[in-house]
């Protein structure tokens, strides 16, 4: 009685403000969204982001339901034909976590893009992502009407039982309309990577799933290992290595062997969760797979790894020929230089004819004398401004590297600390907004070349210097954000953090970043750790958003006050409540419908049980 009273008071006191994420774990199908609810949310994304998201029908199911692809990317970016990525879900109708993981990735990425996040902006400008949420819409709709929800295949009538009939559309050579829809878009596009989401078990499968041994060539095997390292799951490999059996006619095998797409099937959700995990688990499954999905999307294009090393000129001359123009440097021949190696671990060449690079931490201040850049046996003059050296290097092919040398003049005051390197792929005359990859102490991040949204960060200044030849734009000379100690986390949850110290970007668990917002002042304070930096950043909100946040904060305070008053009222009223005896009786038909524990004993449900998990 007490908790119901308090919950009701809290409900009526709070303002009616709901997040789209709640629609993924508060749906009408065991917590998951129904077919209608999911399509309504996808339509909401389309209406809110008309310039970044489009919809295209790619086929029909056996029962003539339309199969849609949602194409993500800015109009200006897609005009340049960027690397393409394919994401699919609900190939198997009883695996709803695959759907919510895909939809969370789409919605959260659009939110981050709208908020001005550099990585999200880079993805939408420099990738084209195709998302197919309902590969098997008929099976999912049929499961909505079942208590057991065990339908896996499509609804082609192959036997008397609709539950046990159908065709597994992850085992057939394009005999079904659903698989032919995927075949069509794969043949009409040039996808570099593909993720066909399944559930469950926290494992990652890749080709060849029909084989008993690993038959991948060494180069592609290395790519899959880099991806597996980011995912961090214990089970990784072919079907026989993960789920314990072989699978013929599997989608990843066809995509890889016929189209050379680096295709994979993440089995999302923990091993104990089953095909329909509790609704309390859905949000965690969705959020944990966001960075994993982002990594595979980014890997379709250029994936940056940078290494900067100081070495003596004598060591250099033992391996390389004498650079031209060395004797013309002011102050004479220097005794040290810097080796800069830029690796592209991605599956496409870098965009544009050149890469614009900024290196911070090699030199102090703004020396008056120029240095030299040695590239492909030729030297050009280099200048440094405010501790950042700006240079250009030629485009880098996929899965390859570029090495250049920075030769300082003797008048340069050399830094001995860690170096930060930012690289931009976009030419200065491009219609796409420039965004830099930045690497510092093995950590990778993205940055705009300016003080976006009031943030004045080191990587933004380095990016600006890279694009403007060492001259930062006006207003970008303010000091860095104050470094502070990390606040203790009271309720840590698992997340993923990029780390490119090894041959690939890796991820490691870390506590969520604390977030504090002062709504009345329109100021956001971010306190915590991101990309290896602990900082306090002050960011003014837009006026309209600040006012909205202030109104919401006021409502929230009023709601909390009303809730406390209601709690005391409920406690006071408890003494006037007279307990009422309830007669015991046998379970009724309504009880069987409402109480899950009673359902398993009903004889008419026996045909819906007795299946074994399959990928």
**Dihedral sign, CA of 595, 598, 600, 604?**
negative
Burial readout 284-301 (b: 16 or more C-beta within 10 A, e: otherwise): bbbbbbbbbbbbbbbbbb
- Helices 279-288 and 290-299 pack at an angle, to 10 degrees, of 30
Output the CA torsion 223→229→235→238 (10° steps). Answer: 0
Please state, in angstroms and rounded to a whole number, the distance separating the CA atoms of residues 465 and 518.
33
| 523: its two tokens | 């100021």
Is residue 261 a contact partner of residue 191, using CB atoms and an 8 Å limit? yes
Q: DSSP of 317-341, one letter per residue?
A: HHHSPPPTTGGGSTTS--SEEEEEE
Place of tokens 């440094």: 384
Place of tokens 């170096």: 419
593 carries an active-site annotation = no
Q: Look at strands 128-132 and 84-88 and give their pairing.
A: parallel
Please state, in angstroms and rounded to a whole number, the distance separating the CA atoms of residues 77 and 431.
8
Provide the 8-state DSSP code for 539: E
Residue 142: strand, helix, or coil? helix
Rg of the chain taking only CA atoms, in angstroms: 28
Tell me phi and psi for residue 445, to 5 degrees: -150, 180
**Any residues with CB less than 8 A from the CB of 501 and at least 6 apart, and which?**
442
Q: DSSP of 29-71, one letter per residue?
A: BTBBPPHHHHHHHHHHHHHH-TTTEEEEEEEE-TT--EEEEEE
Q: How many CB atoms lie within 10 A of CB 371?
A: 26
Residue 124: strand, helix, or coil? helix
Is residue 182 a contact partner of residue 202, using CB atoms and an 8 Å limit? no
Is residue 398 a contact partner of residue 349, using CB atoms and an 8 Å limit? yes
| 271: its two tokens | 């091993």
Helix or strand (DSSP H, E) at 83: none
Q: How many helices (DSSP H) and strands (DSSP E) are in the chain? A: 18, 24
**Any residues with CB less than 8 A from the CB of 148 and at least 6 apart, and which?**
163, 605, 608, 609
Is residue 492 a contact partner of residue 512, using CB atoms and an 8 Å limit? yes
Please state, in angstroms and rounded to a whole number, the distance separating the CA atoms of residues 534 and 488.
13
Choice among 52, 178, 267, 281 that is catalytic: 267
Q: How far apart are the first and last CA of the chain?
A: 45
Lay out the sheet containing 400-407: strands in order across: 304-312, 336-344, 400-407, 371-375, 378-382
Catalytic residue numbers, as ranges = 267
């Amino acid at each position: 009685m007490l908790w119901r009273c308090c919950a009701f008071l809290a409900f009526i006191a709070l303002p009616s403000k709901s997040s789209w994420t709640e629609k993924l774990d508060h749906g009408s199908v065991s917590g998951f969204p129904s077919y209608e609810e999911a399509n309504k949310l996808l339509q909401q994304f389309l209406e809110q982001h008309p310039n970044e998201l489009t919809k295209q029908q790619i086929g029909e199911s056996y029962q003539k339901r339309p199969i849609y692809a949602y194409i993500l990317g800015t109009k200006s970016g897609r005009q340049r034909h960027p690397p393409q990525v394919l994401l699919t879900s609900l190939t198997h109708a009883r695996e709803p976590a695959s759907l919510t993981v895909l939809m969370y990735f789409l919605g959260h990425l659009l939110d981050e893009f709208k908020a001005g996040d550099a990585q999200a902006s880079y993805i939408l400008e420099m990738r084209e992502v195709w998302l197919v949420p309902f590969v098997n819409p008929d099976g999912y709709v049929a499961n909505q009407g079942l208590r057991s929800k065990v339908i896996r295949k499509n609804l082609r009538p192959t036997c008397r039982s609709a539950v046990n009939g159908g065709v597994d559309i992850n085992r057939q050579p394009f005999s079904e309309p659903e698989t032919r829809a995927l075949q069509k878009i794969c043949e009409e596009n040039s996808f570099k990577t593909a993720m066909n989401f399944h559930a469950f078990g926290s494992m990652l499968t890749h080709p060849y799933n029909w084989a008993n041994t690993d038959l991948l060539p060494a180069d592609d095997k290395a790519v899959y290992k880099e991806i597996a390292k980011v995912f961090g799951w214990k089970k990784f490999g072919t079907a026989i290595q993960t789920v314990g059996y072989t699978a013929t006619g599997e989608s990843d095998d066809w995509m890889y062997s016929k189209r050379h797409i680096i295709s994979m099937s993440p089995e999302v959700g923990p091993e104990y969760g089953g095909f329909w995990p509790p609704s309390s688990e859905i949000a965690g499954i969705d959020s944990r797979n966001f960075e994993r999905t982002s990594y595979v999307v980014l890997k379709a294009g250029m994936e940056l790894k940078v290494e900067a090393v100081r070495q003596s000129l004598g060591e250099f001359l033992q391996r390389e020929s004498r650079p031209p123009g060395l004797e013309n440097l002011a102050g004479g021949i220097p005794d040290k230089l810097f080796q800069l190696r830029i690796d592209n671990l991605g599956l496409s060449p870098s965009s544009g004819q050149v890469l614009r690079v900024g290196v911070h931490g090699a030199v102090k201040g703004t020396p008056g004398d120029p240095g030299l850049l040695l590239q492909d046996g030729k030297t050009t003059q280099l200048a440094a401004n405010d501790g950042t050296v700006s240079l250009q290097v030629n485009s880098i092919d996929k899965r390859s590297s570029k090495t250049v040398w920075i030769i300082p003049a003797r008048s340069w005051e050399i830094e001995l600390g860690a170096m930060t390197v930012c690289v931009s792929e976009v030419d200065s005359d491009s219609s796409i907004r420039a965004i830099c990859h930045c690497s510092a102490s093995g950590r990778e991040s993205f940055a705009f070349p300016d003080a976006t949204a009031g943030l004045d960060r080191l990587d933004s200044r380095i990016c600006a210097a890279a694009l403007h030849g060492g001259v930062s734009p006006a207003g970008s000379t303010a000091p860095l954000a104050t470094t502070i100690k990390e606040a203790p986390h009271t309720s840590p949850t698992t997340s993923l953090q990029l780390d490119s110290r090894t041959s690939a970007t890796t991820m490691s668990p870390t506590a969520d970043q604390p977030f504090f917002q002062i709504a009345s002042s329109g100021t956001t304070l971010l306190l915590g750790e991101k990309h290896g930096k602990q900082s306090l950043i002050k960011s003014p909100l837009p006026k309209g958003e600040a006012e909205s946040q202030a109104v919401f904060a006021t409502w929230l305070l009023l709601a909390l006050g009303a809730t406390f008053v209601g709690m005391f009222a409920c406690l006071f009223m408890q003494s006037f409540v007279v307990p009422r005896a309830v007669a015991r009786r046998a379970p009724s038909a309504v009880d069987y419908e409402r109480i899950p524990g009673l359902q398993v004993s009903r004889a008419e449900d026996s045909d819906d049980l007795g299946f074994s998990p399959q990928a």
